[in-house]
A = this chain, B = another copy of it.
């Protein structure tokens, strides 16, 4: 699914929820051991339960890589299972010199079939442009992250502009910049108004609503644009809404609750 289709789905579903499939093999509910691949089975049931309420899924690659080659297969199988009805984000936070970023872009866009991949900005232009060359894909650059350490470097000022604003500003000059999206944590919603002055049209992937203390109302208030322009990610609060055998029903309820709140706030 490309950006235009994502926008259409957001307005059709009145939801801009992204469900984060950060599936930890150590935390699976009982009753899945009998399956060949319990992690995939968990993902499958979560997807079935939530797909009507969200427009996007995000797979954090760490949770799959720590299972080795098998994890890579589960990730591929999960992406295939989601299909083209949702905007699929590989949350990989990659970024390397040009010829190496080429390889990552190929791995995530072509081989795995993700619609978007998250990329770290530290290595600059030539580390990101190989991703931007894929016409129907999106590249989501880390800007202002929601973790405590996010302030260590991202708020350092240079010529009166914090690093994350330098990232917003500079990245907009890169080839293919219209295919950029940005990670902005909800824990810093008050920054969103100013962020929009740099990137009025870009989509923002927003982690940290709920679990990390960010307010959905604030994010919508300060961050939405005419296309909504927001993807609100919820991972643990949805997929671990219940630790019991009713985990899928509980995930559906929580995803539906969040989507209803979005419909109220933004449409």
Residues of chain A touching chain B, judged by Cβ–Cβ distance below 8 Å, are 22, 24, 60, 62-63, 65-66, 68-73, 76, 91, 93-98, 100-101, 103-104, 106-107, 111-112, 120-128, 142, 145-154, 156-159, 163, 166-167, 170
Q: How far is the CB of A62 from chain B (nearest CB, A)?
A: 4
In the complex the two chains form, is A156's CB within 8 Å of B149's CB?
no
* Supplied contacts A62-B94, A124-B147, A126-B148, 20 more A-B pairs, CB within 8 Å: A62-B101, A65-B104, A68-B76, A68-B107, A68-B112, A72-B72, A93-B94, A95-B120, A97-B145, A121-B152, A122-B145, A124-B148, A124-B149, A124-B151, A124-B154, A125-B152, A126-B149, A153-B166, A153-B170, A156-B156
In the complex the two chains form, is A65's CB within 8 Å of B107's CB?
yes
Contacts of A65 in B (CB 8 A): 72, 103-104, 107
Residue of B nearest to A157 (CB): B158
**Assuming A122-B120, A123-B145, A151-B124, is B66 touching A107 (CB within 8 A)?**
yes
Contacts of A60 in B (CB 8 A): 96, 100
Q: How far is the CB of A212 from chain B (nearest CB, A)?
A: 9
Contacts of A142 in B (CB 8 A): 122-123
In the complex the two chains form, is A68's CB within 8 Å of B72's CB?
yes
> 8 A-B contacts, Cβ less than 8 Å apart?
A22-B100, A62-B101, A62-B107, A65-B107, A68-B76, A68-B107, A69-B73, A93-B94
Q: How far is the CB of A133 from chain B (nearest CB, A)?
A: 15
**Assuming A125-B149, A147-B97, A147-B124, is B156 touching A166 (CB within 8 A)?**
yes
**Assuming A62-B104, A158-B156, A163-B163, is B93 touching A120 (CB within 8 A)?**
yes
Among all A-B residue pairs, the 9 with the closest Cβ atoms:
A124-B149, A124-B152, A62-B103, A125-B149, A66-B107, A69-B72, A156-B158, A69-B69, A126-B149
Residue of B nearest to A156 (CB): B158
Partner of A68, one of B91, B111, B159: B111
**In the assembly, what is the distance between CA of A121 and CA of B145, in Å?**
12
Most chain B beta-carbon contacts within 10 A, residue among A93, A112, A142: A93
**In the assembly, what is the distance between CA of A163 and CA of B127, in Å?**
17
Contacts of A104 in B (CB 8 A): 62, 65-66
